[in-house]
Structure 1
Amino acid sequence: MAMGLAHKHTLTDRGAFAVMIGANVGTTLTAWLVAYKIVGLGPVFVTLGGLWSLAGPRPWRPYGKVLFYFGLVFLALDLISQALAPLANSPALADWHELLSSPVLALLFAALLTALVQSSSVVTGLAVLSVQQSLIAPEVAVWLIAGANIGTTSTALLASAALDTLSRKLALLNTSFNILGVLLFATLLQPVIGVILTLDIAADQQVALVHTLFNLTAAIVALIILPHTWPVLSRWLNRGL
């Protein structure tokens, strides 16, 4: 959406990039909603949204669709949670857990899965649900979430293919930002993440807290350095236009 607005000159290139940064922080809400088991309210949101979009005041009906699709995401996650429950006693689970215990493999697996389903929220929710079901350890889940942050850039890259050069460069800039965020996650943030994973709270809440810390820290760092780097980035974005 940000790239589309930039393509139509409704939003500046700097504004579009700032929206992309903000979207990374906003998506952390999914992990908290799943951790606190709000996904069980999916059918309620679907019903209310459907009724609102059909019978609500006409100017407000589009907002009912937003509520409907919001509920649909959590209804799907709730169904996934129920389907995952029997896997907890599966002998094959140990093989998968051993495979994903490698941070690099967990990262790549989540990145590919996110690119396939085109939703980091789904993969993040799936990681938290897997921790709730004791299918994977929190130490594995946090790397899945980091991989989802890379995989979600595929949405912008695919969308930009049909837009102008500026949009494609913004998509590349978004990808670079997320990759740098994961590098920050894998290096400087590791001691803090280690502390969070030892806190006396539920394992799924540990994962949600790591997810929030990761994206919030990356956003703060980006906003701090953006005023100093934007002149160079702006020249690159607008070169050849």
Structure 2
Amino acid sequence: MKKTILSLLALAAITTANAQEIYTAQFTDSALVRKAQMWVASGEWKNGFTKAEPDNSVNLTDFYIQYHREPETWKALFAWLEKTDLLAIPAGKHLIPGTDLIVSVEDSQNEDLKKRKTESHRYNCDFMFVVKGTEGFRFLDHNTSTQNTKYQYDVVRYDYNPAKAKTVESTPERFFIMFPEDWHIAKVKTSKPDQNLRVIVVKMPYRYRDSRERTGDSQECTGKCCMKKGQK
């Protein structure tokens, strides 16, 4: 009996050690995943946008689903990005006409990893487009990260294993979209000599198919306070 228990514990340890890191949502519908990949490659989503392509870290299936649940909002985003001089526009908050989307134009700097906070969101996704400089990111491994604060104001924080975090850098040729399962740390110091950057950040609504609310804690925000006007 003791030998059996030890064998099971050893097997569990090996399984855990060999577990593949997970950095984003996993979709099991292979046809949907392939459809999303083809859709992104076709450029149908661009609405005239020519300034950048999705980074390799962007979950294309999530992108496909969210775009098609609210296409006019995404079209307005890409049209605004294309026609706006993103280097000349003043830093601060800007409203995209005809929408309730608020653009945050940030002149900022990367910092040491220990100074930066982990985050993810449930009812919004962060569209991030660096237009000057390089922004450093860490993507957190789901298998070795745990939520460490109560969910509020549409923000979740995590404890994580730095050794399992994936390092990614954002430059003006690529944009990022941080969906709810993209647990991340932004503005992390890179190896570049200049840590200054300008980044465009837009909170895009994240639509759940069944208008579900995440609960489980009586004190937990349901997301209603964080939703944009009219979001279901």
Q: TM over 0.5: same fold?
A: no
TM-score by length of 2: 0.30
Structure number with higher strand proportion:
2
Structure number with higher helix proportion:
1
